[in-house]
Copies of this chain bind each other. A is one copy, B any other.
């Protein structure tokens, strides 16, 4: 047996060798803990069938039904009457029921064995079956003789128990069907916590029957009914995903004050409006705690998850400083600082939550030694803060480095490890307190149209970091698998790729968007908080998100691949003529693109702002072609020419219309190399 097996680590290191000639590498994401590739393939055709044995679990039955539906969709084959045929193509074996659907750290392992004649998936409980079925779907390939799964033995379990995705539905409401398709995406990459940031200054998104003015006055009418929440929780639960609610307090809570101004530290009337002045909750009033006790009681029932997130971030103390009654209270109770006042507030909250058997979760700021060790810290500040909490006895999850709204490339998120650097000093017990991490989709610039493209496929790189062994690090291999996964995710109904055309057509007012797409494919939204930084006056959360920056992907695949191609050409010492031809074809299309695009940009108020980018792309094309001409002739380019071109290329790096041109750098390299001599 051993001799015919090839371990995946060997396979990965050889990936450039084996790709074309022999077997393709397995397009699995997250990469399982242990994969042994066998010989041959299991054919997947219309005779495909599944049998379930062992512990009878309704969740498993449903999961297998969904799996068959997904396999049907993926292959175009109508699969009916697939259950319980003998002998089945796939045997699913479940050892036992789940101990509790919300227990963190439950066994999620599974074993998948595929031979040329059949496959077996076994797991201690339903969770492993869910994960194993997703792995099986990812293994299905289109081959020269039919659909198939390669013979393989997989032994898999997650590295971290908490693998989350936060979606901020407070700043922009996201409809239930959009959440559901994102839950399907989460299940596909083995994430297991959906963290809903349900309230923020711009909106309160859950129906409270006890305090209906929360959603009625604080949401623009855009909120989830309790029935919708229950349905969503069941939907996620069926897929092994917990839903943790977050109600951010005492800051980020303006939407609460529209209906209940008595909760605010600053007297006044409030409304959902970009111009409304901001304040925070008053933690000194009895009424605040009476309100929160009843509210949390209601929500604790609605959300069965044992974890309950109370936010706690970014409290601006000036509102407490400005309120004499609050100052008086602090003085009377010996509370010395605003941090201490927030700690007082958090202790009260923690007691309310305990009463409802909930574990309190909050952002870095809530960490104070006077809170019980049962609470969980979510760190947006970094691994140091997380390790520090672990040393003090607190559990924590990492979100620093996983903020999807910062528009980083997948590779950068992929490089962030909850255990990295600072965790090296931790002892084994302390290390166990680092539960995992969460990708965070903050909602300033998201809409139902573009949210999928902000979350996917980049979140899969984070999911792999949280699931797979720490040693899985090869960025090139990751991008190959990410690209394969990305197209599979669209089969789930996600629109991270298909959203672009309709958005571009809307901007252009025509379906003649070929040239616009050429530009869209080489630009990226500005990074970090640059877009928010450019806002003058109050941020208008109602401003339409229908500009080019809202449609293009956070990471330009064209840009990345063009850079790789130029590097390949340089590495070949200009001898790779096929690469050169491809580069020339691309540069020519860029050079000629502005002429085609210019009339379209002129006709649309949404697109006129990107005209300078289009001209710069044309310049990049022209410049790159000239540089290649010099290199072809082995003729040194004039220094003046180079200096002038480099000035232009550097100028083209400046953001325009909140967009960055991603293809200047490789062309600049070609220009520099055209000075002559061999490349370094």
Shortest distance from the beta carbon of A395 to any chain B beta carbon, whole Å: 38
Let me know if B145 and A605 touch, CB within 8 A.
Answer: yes
Q: Among the interface residues A76, A80, A506, which one has the most CB atoms of the partner chain B within 10 A?
A: A76
Shortest distance from the beta carbon of A417 to any chain B beta carbon, whole Å: 28
Q: Among the interface residues A141, A506, A510, which one has the most CB atoms of the partner chain B within 10 A?
A: A506
Across-interface contacts of A546 in B (CB, < 8 A) = 75-77
Let me know if A508 and B76 touch, CB within 8 A.
Answer: no
Among B144, B545, B603, which residue has its beta carbon within 8 angstroms of that of A608? B144
Let me know if A487 and B507 touch, CB within 8 A.
Answer: no
The segment from A330-338, A346-354, A380-388, A496-504 found at the interface with B is A496-504
What is the 8 Å Cβ interface bit string for chain A, positions 395-413, against chain B (1 contact, 0 not)? 0000000000000000000
Indicate if A528 sits at the interface (CB-CB under 8 A). no
Across-interface contacts of A483 in B (CB, < 8 A) = 511
Across-interface contacts of A506 in B (CB, < 8 A) = 74-76, 142, 491
Let me know if A509 and B142 touch, CB within 8 A.
Answer: yes
Indicate if A155 sits at the interface (CB-CB under 8 A). no
Let me know if B144 and A604 touch, CB within 8 A.
Answer: yes
Let me know if B447 and A544 touch, CB within 8 A.
Answer: no
Across-interface contacts of A505 in B (CB, < 8 A) = 487
Please state the number of chain copies in the assembly. 2
Shortest distance from the beta carbon of A178 to any chain B beta carbon, whole Å: 12
Let me know if B143 and A603 touch, CB within 8 A.
Answer: yes
Indicate if A586 sits at the interface (CB-CB under 8 A). no
Shortest distance from the beta carbon of A271 to any chain B beta carbon, whole Å: 11
Among B73, B81, B449, B490, which residue has its beta carbon within 8 angstroms of that of A220? B81
Across-interface contacts of A484 in B (CB, < 8 A) = 510-511
Among B76, B498, B545, which residue has its beta carbon within 8 angstroms of that of A498? B498
Give residues of chain A (48-82) contacting chain B, Cβ–Cβ below 8 Å: 73-78, 80-81
Let me know if B501 and A497 touch, CB within 8 A.
Answer: yes
Indicate if A139 sits at the interface (CB-CB under 8 A). no
Give residues of chain A (122-155) contacting chain B, Cβ–Cβ below 8 Å: 141-146
* Nearest opposing residue in chain B for A509, CB measure: B142
Let me know if B142 and A605 touch, CB within 8 A.
Answer: yes
Across-interface contacts of A503 in B (CB, < 8 A) = 76
Contact A544 B46, CB 8 Å, known A142-B508, A146-B605: yes
* Nearest opposing residue in chain B for A221, CB measure: B80
Indicate if A577 sits at the interface (CB-CB under 8 A). no
Across-interface contacts of A608 in B (CB, < 8 A) = 144
Across-interface contacts of A369 in B (CB, < 8 A) = none
Give residues of chain A (475-524) contacting chain B, Cβ–Cβ below 8 Å: 483-484, 486-487, 490-491, 497-498, 501-503, 505-511
Indicate if A542 sits at the interface (CB-CB under 8 A). yes
Across-interface contacts of A438 in B (CB, < 8 A) = none
Shortest distance from the beta carbon of A565 to any chain B beta carbon, whole Å: 14
Indicate if A287 sits at the interface (CB-CB under 8 A). no
Query: How far does the alpha carbon of A506 sit from the alpha carbon of B484 in the complex, in Å?
Result: 11
Query: How far does the alpha carbon of A654 sit from the alpha carbon of B76 in the complex, in Å?
Result: 27
Let me know if B502 and A490 touch, CB within 8 A.
Answer: yes
Contact A542 B75, CB 8 Å, known A142-B604, A498-B498, A509-B141: no
Query: How far does the alpha carbon of A77 sit from the alpha carbon of B221 in the complex, in Å?
Result: 16
Q: Among the interface residues A73, A487, A503, which one has the most CB atoms of the partner chain B within 10 A?
A: A487
Contact A447 B76, CB 8 Å, known A490-B502, A544-B46: yes
Query: How far does the alpha carbon of A144 sit from the alpha carbon of B550 in the complex, in Å?
Result: 19
Shortest distance from the beta carbon of A629 to any chain B beta carbon, whole Å: 21
Indicate if A212 sits at the interface (CB-CB under 8 A). no
* Nearest opposing residue in chain B for A592, CB measure: B585
Indicate if A315 sits at the interface (CB-CB under 8 A). no
Across-interface contacts of A220 in B (CB, < 8 A) = 80-81
Indicate if A606 sits at the interface (CB-CB under 8 A). yes
Query: How far does the alpha carbon of A602 sit from the alpha carbon of B142 in the complex, in Å?
Result: 11
Across-interface contacts of A604 in B (CB, < 8 A) = 142-144
12 contacts between A and B (CB under 8 A): A76-B545, A78-B544, A142-B507, A143-B604, A144-B604, A146-B605, A486-B511, A487-B511, A490-B501, A490-B502, A491-B506, A498-B498
Nearest 3 CB-CB pairings of A with B:
A76-B546, A142-B509, A77-B544
Given contacts A76-B550, A490-B501, 5 further A-B contacts (CB under 8 A): A74-B506, A76-B506, A80-B542, A144-B605, A487-B502
